[in-house]
A and B are shown apart, each in its own frame.
Chain A
Amino acid sequence: MSISAWLELIASGLITGGIYALVALGLNLQYGLMRILNIAHGEFLMVGAYLTWLFQTSYGLSPLLMVPVSFVVLLVLGVVVHFLCFRRLTATSPNLDVFEARGLMVAFGLMFLVQNFASWMWGGELRGYDYMTEPVKLGEAQFAANKLLVFFLALVFSGALIVLLRMTLLGKGVRALMQSPIGAQLMGIDTKRLHPLMFGIGLGLSGIAGALLSMAYTITPFMGQPYTVTALIVITLGGFGSMGGALIGGLFLGVIEALGMHFSNPSLKALLSYAIFIAVLLLRPEGLFTRKGRKA
C-alpha cells in the first residue's frame, strides 16, 4: 500500500472518528459529569436530525443554519426534561449510585417515548436530503464536503467544551459538582441551576450532532441507538467526564475501524469495536487518555 493510500485511509477514519467524538461529547457531559446514563442520547440526536430535515425540505432552510437552532431547541428540551424527571430523582435518591440506577431507568423510558413520538409525528420511513455532497480534493484523496464540515465542527465543539470546563468559573463549578455535590453546594455553587443547564447543554450537543449527521446519512426514528452505543464505547475509551479523552477516543476508534475494515471485512467492525471496549474496561477502566486525578 502506498503512503498516499495509507494517509487517505487514516484521514477517512479520522473523519468518521470526529463524528463519533461529537456524538460522545454530549453523553459524556451527562454521564461523566452528572452520572445520568442517558440511554436516550441517540434519540435526542435523532430529534435534531429530524428538525434539520424538516426545515430543510419544508422551508428550504440551510441545514447549517439549523445547527444552532437544534442546539437551542434541544437545550430547552433538556432543561424541561431535567425539571420533569431528574430533578425529582436527585431529590429522592439517597446516594449517587441509586440515582444512577434510577436515572438509567428513566432514560430508557425517555428513549421509547422520544422514538415513538418521532415515528408518530413523521412516520417510520427513511428520510434524507442532498447537501454539500460534492467531493473536495485534499492532495490525492477526496472527501465529501459535508463530512469535512462535520469533522471541523466536531473539533470546534470539543475544543470549546474543553475550554469552557477548564478555563471558566462555570466550568470550575461544574467540575466541583462532579467531585463533591455537597461540597460544591457548601461553596455556594448553585446546583439547582447548574445541573439542568449542563443536562441541557448535553442534549443541545446531541442536537448539533443530529443536525450534522442528517447531512451525511439517511435518518429514521430508529437511528439513535447505535450512536448511543458508539458514544458509550468512546467515553469509556476516553475516560468518563474527560472531553479531551472523548475527542481522542472518538478519533482513535474511527481510525481503528477504518483500518480494520480495509484489512479484514466491514462485518467484523462491531467485533473490533467491542473487543477494544472490553479490553479497555479490563485493563484500564479509567480510560486510555486520562491521568488520574485530572478531569475535563
Chain B
Amino acid sequence: MAQQSKRTLLKGAAATVGAAAFAPHLLAAQPPVRIGYSMSRTGPWTGGAQVSQEPNYLLWAEQQNALGGLDVKGVRRPIELISSDDRSDTETVVRTYEKLMGSDKVDLVLPPWGSNANFAVAPLANRFGYPFLAPTALSKRLVEMKLPYFFLLLQQPKPMCDALVDMLKANGAKTIAVVYVDDLFGLENYAALRVALQGSGITMVEDKSYPAGVKDLSPVLRSMKDKNPDAFVGFTYPPDTILASKQAKEVGFNPKFFYASVGTAFQLYRNVMTPAGAEGVLGMGSWNGKTSPGAKAYFDAHTKKFGGKEPDRWASGATWAGLEILTAGVAKVGLDRKALRDYISNTSHKTILGDIKFTGSENTATPGTVSQWQSGEFEVVWPPKVATAKLNPSKPAWK
C-alpha cells in the first residue's frame, strides 16, 4: 500500500508537469502562478493536516489546471504548488514561510495546519503582505491581534460554544460535565463555554483537563458517570475524541448529549466507532454534502480523487471555501496582494458553506454549528436554519 499523500502529491506534481508539457500552447505560453505552503506530512499534526487541509490544495490545483489554469483577471495561468513538509514543527513552519515570501517571492501562499502554526506565521504574513485564508486556526487571540492580512475561516470558540449551549438549553439539558485538552485550543473553548453557560440555567457538575496524547480517560469518565449529567462535552483532539468515545462505551457512560470536538467530523470516526456506534454522537461540524450543490460536488470530487477518502465535515469545508474565495479574488483583482486583501476583506463571499464575510480577521457570517452522527452521516443539526437533519435529542446506547 503506497502512502496516500505522497501518491496524491506525485499525481499533483505529475498533473502540473503534464499540463505544462502537453497542454495547448496558449497555456504553455503563460508563466505559472507559484503558490507556496508548508504542510505537516510527518509528526503529530499529520493526522489533521492530511485530512482537512493538504488534500484540498492538491484537488484544487488539479481542478484549476484541468480548466487551463488559475484565472488571473481573465488570463488562465497554470498553478505550480511549491510545498514542503514542516515535520509538525513551528520553527520549520516559520522558516519555510519566511523563505517562500521573503526570498522565493512566490505569488501567493496557502496556510499551514493548526492553530499553533498559524499563530506563528500570522505576523509574518502581515509583514510580507501576503493574504492568509486560514481554515484550521481556532483562537480568539489571533482575532484580537487584528492583523489586516490574516483571515480565519473556521467558526471561533465563542460562536461554536454559544450554538452548543443554545442547543442544550433548547432541549432541556440541566447539567453538564466537561473535559478539555490543556492547550490553547482546549483552554479557549473551555473559557468560551463557561461564558456561554452563564445565565443558561445549565450547571457544570464536573470539569477536568487532560494532557494531549492521554492514554486513559476512564477514571474521569467513571466519576462523571456517577454524577449522571445530561450532557458530556469534550474539547478534544482526534485521538482523544476516539479514546473518550470508546471508553465512554466501555464504562457505560451514555448521557443524552455526548459532544466531542476535533475528529468527530472525520470519516475515521465512523470507521473506528462503526456507524451504529457513532449514532447520536455530537461534535464540531458545519457542513456535509447536503449543505449546498457546491458542497456535494466538492465532496464527490474529493472522494473520487483520493480513492474513497472523504473530506471531514468541518475544517475541510472551510479549506475549500477559502480556496473558492482565493480563486474568485484572483479572477477579479489578479495577483496584486494588497488589492486581493481588500477584496477578501470587503466582499461577501459565496462559498460551499454559504455566505462568508469577514469582520476584521474573523468570519462572522458562518454561524456556530453543532453536528450529529445519524445513520452513518455527520448531519448539521443546530442551528435549525442551517441544519441538514433534525437533532436527535436523546443519544441511543453505545453499540
Q: Is the CB of B44 within 8 A of A218?
A: no
- Bound CA span A123–B4, Å: 6
A267 at the interface (CB under 8 A from B): yes
Binds B, one of A28-36, A65-73, A179-187, A219-227: A219-227
B47 near A261: Cβ-Cβ < 8 Å: no
Q: Mark B116-152, 1 if CB is under 8 A from A, else 0.
A: 0000000000000000000000000000000000000
Count how many pairs of residues, one from A and one from B, have CB atoms less than 8 Å apart in the complex.
140
Q: CB distance B250 to A266 under 8 Å?
A: no
**Closest B residue, CB atoms, query A227:** B215
Complex: how many Å from CA A270 to CA B215? Answer: 11
With A129-B272, A144-B249 as given contacts, are A123 and B238 in contact (CB-CB < 8 Å)? Answer: no
CB-CB < 8 A to A120: which residues of B?
3, 6
Nearest-Cβ distance from residue A295 to partner chain B, whole angstroms: 29
Using A135-B252, A144-B246 as known contacts, say yes or no to A124 and B46 having CB atoms under 8 A apart. Answer: yes
Contacts of B251 in A (CB 8 A): 135, 142-143
A242 CB, nearest partner CB in chain B, Å = 24
Contact A128/B268 with A144-B249, A270-B211 known, Cβ cut-off 8 Å = yes
CB distance from A274 to the nearest CB of B (A): 12
Interface flag for B51 (CB, 8 Å): yes
B5 engages A123 (CB within 8 Å): yes
B174 on the A face (CB < 8 A):
no
* A-facing residues in B1-40 (Cβ within 8 Å): 1-6, 40
Q: How many B residues touch A, CB cutoff 8 Å?
A: 51
Asked if A226 and B210 sit within 8 Å, CB to CB, the answer is no
Give which listed residue, A12, A142, A267, contacts B209 with CB less than 8 A.
Answer: A267
Q: From the candidates B47, B50, B214, name the one contacting A266 in the complex (CB within 8 A).
A: B214
Given A143-B250, A144-B246, also A119-B42 (CB < 8 A): yes
Chain A interface mostly: helix
Q: Indicate if A116 sits at the interface (CB-CB under 8 A).
A: yes
A178 to B26, CA, bound (A): 74
Q: B172 on the interface (CB 8 Å rule)?
A: no
Q: How many chain A residues have a CB neighbour from B under 8 Å?
A: 45
Within 8 A of B (CB), among A111-138: 115-116, 119-130, 133, 135
- Of B2, B216, B220, the most chain A CB neighbours within 10 A belong to B216
The answer to whether A58 and B1 have CB atoms under 8 Å apart is yes
When A16-B215, A58-B1, A262-B223 are in contact, do A124 and B249 touch as well, CB less than 8 Å? no
The 3 closest A-B pairs by CB, nearest first: A124-B46, A266-B210, A144-B250
In the assembled complex, 28 residue pairs joining A and B whose CB atoms fall closer than 8 Å, in A order, are A9-B222, A16-B215, A16-B216, A58-B1, A121-B1, A122-B1, A122-B3, A123-B46, A124-B5, A124-B40, A126-B238, A126-B239, A126-B263, A128-B242, A130-B272, A133-B250, A133-B277, A144-B250, A218-B272, A222-B44, A226-B213, A258-B218, A262-B222, A265-B210, A266-B209, A266-B211, A269-B211, A269-B214
